[in-house]
Structure 1
């Protein structure tokens, strides 16, 4: 399931068997069991991706926190007002599990969709979620994370990522400038609950050229911050915003 969750597109039986270093017969047996349980589903008959039951686990947690009912209308409006893609995600070990996606323009050479996973160290949502961790938790995560360059601008140094997390924490929001796509400039904010815990993060995807338009950039930030604050207030958070507490 981790293999399928980390993939940017459905995988074939051969790809799965090769990644797991096992035979296609063994891989097929595991897949059949997961399909029966609802954790994996077929795509186009010959490929596989995560099933809705995996997503339901994340959604169940978010529903129990009240996140989804508060967040969705704000995120839909945010995307419509700015005509930009908006995403929401939660930390799943070392990656970000996308649990909401309103796509307007794609800046990636691969698909980002609900249920997919993205790196935490080079995405706006991920940087927020990393900044919310305690220092020892963040160091442990970076030790086991697969840090690779997505673009020439991607930072993969553990020391540099740790320092960036501190900057993000102090700033209260995250910035990604061509680290996940050379065409992408993204801003991420936290969603906080009544206990001042960061329960999810939201990001808005801008074209990298948008950062040279001060009016557009400030409008995007203001709208994103307002949406994040309203969602957080609906979850019981009443502190300053944007802010990343631990």
Structure 2
């Protein structure tokens, strides 16, 4: 097996000045797509691999999570370090504040997120709990708007945070507009892990929970994502009747019962959703 000495460059040719590395000739000759920038796609896949549960990564972990080769992962990571998006301590790569610019481009141009923010803040002040706006993205509920209460319940529900759709209140609301076939395909395509002992993970039960949104008009995730935390979500519909987003509230299960959420919180969330729908 022949080894070649290559500089650690980005796939677009930009230098990654931290180090050089030994790669085999086979590793160096990676296939490229005819259209588009393969290196950019790999870099974005690595960026998306960071999450609330994956706050730092090695080269090997990045390669596995992004489904790329280790040489490609290393080049992407070192380029992101040079550009100021990641820090590197010699082994682990961790995001830096500059990473917020990537999500900021969407948030600053999304009319939905801009319109929602003052409404979320008003609901937060009324309920004294954190209120969020989420959209669906590849099987995850992604928070694009957030008004934090002083007491923070969960680290998962942050602006830009991603939660698995099958067991989150926002995710079930967003999936509820899908056809039977689309819901079944989603359920079969994602790992239905029990994140807590209370997580609904049996496929039939998950589908039933999604269907209940259509009759109830809301969804509740009761300690399924995190013990001690429950959430309620309602749909925000566009002019065509499709679900555009979901508005949710997160509470401590020790302070707020499910019955109290239905009685006191549901009307407030429905009011926020109705005002957003009039603005869409």
**Above 0.5 in TM-score?**
yes
Contact 2:121/2:147 (8 A) holds in 1: yes
1:128, distance to aligned residue in structure 2 (A): 0.4
Decide whether aligned partners of structure 1 residues 10 and 194 sit closer, same or farther in structure 2, where only a CA change above 3 A counts: same
Counting only pairs closer than 5 Å after superposition, residues 39-188 of structure 1 correspond to structure 2 as: 41-42=85-86, 46-48=93-95, 51-52=99-100, 54-56=102-104, 58-59=106-107, 63=110, 66-104=111-149, 105-108=151-154, 110-188=155-233
Larger Rg: 2
Counting only pairs closer than 5 Å after superposition, residues 6-25 of structure 1 correspond to structure 2 as: 7-8=51-52, 9-14=54-59, 15-20=61-66, 25=71
1:214, distance to aligned residue in structure 2 (A): 5.2
1:56, distance to aligned residue in structure 2 (A): 4.8
1:198, distance to aligned residue in structure 2 (A): 0.9
SS in 2 for 1:201: strand
| TM-score after normalising by structure 1 | 0.79
Q: Distance in 2 between matches of 1:163 and 1:132?
A: 13
Decide whether aligned partners of structure 1 residues 213 and 47 sit closer, same or farther in structure 2, where only a CA change above 3 A counts: closer
1:216, distance to aligned residue in structure 2 (A): 6.6
**1:158-200 residue CA offsets vs partner (Å, 9 max, x unmatched):** 1111111111111111111111122112110111111112111
Q: Distance in 1 between matches of 2:261 and 2:240?
A: 33
1:204, distance to aligned residue in structure 2 (A): 0.1
Contact 1:55/1:115 (8 A) holds in 2: yes
Q: Distance in 2 between matches of 1:83 and 1:57?
A: 29
1:68, distance to aligned residue in structure 2 (A): 2.1
**1:97-143 residue CA offsets vs partner (Å, 9 max, x unmatched):** 121222323333x4432222111111111110011211111111111
Q: Distance in 1 between matches of 2:258 and 2:206?
A: 27
1:31, distance to aligned residue in structure 2 (A): 3.0
1:52, distance to aligned residue in structure 2 (A): 4.2
Gaps of 5+ in 2: 1-43
Decide whether aligned partners of structure 1 residues 211 and 3 sit closer, same or farther in structure 2, where only a CA change above 3 A counts: farther
Q: Distance in 2 between matches of 1:32 and 1:44?
A: 8
1:54, distance to aligned residue in structure 2 (A): 4.4
Decide whether aligned partners of structure 1 residues 101 and 3 sit closer, same or farther in structure 2, where only a CA change above 3 A counts: farther
The one of the two structures with greater contact order (alpha-carbon pairs below 8 A, sep at least 6) is 1
Decide whether aligned partners of structure 1 residues 166 and 2 sit closer, same or farther in structure 2, where only a CA change above 3 A counts: farther
**Number of positions where the alignment pairs a residue of Structure 1 with one of Structure 2:** 229
> 2:74 maps to what in 1?
28
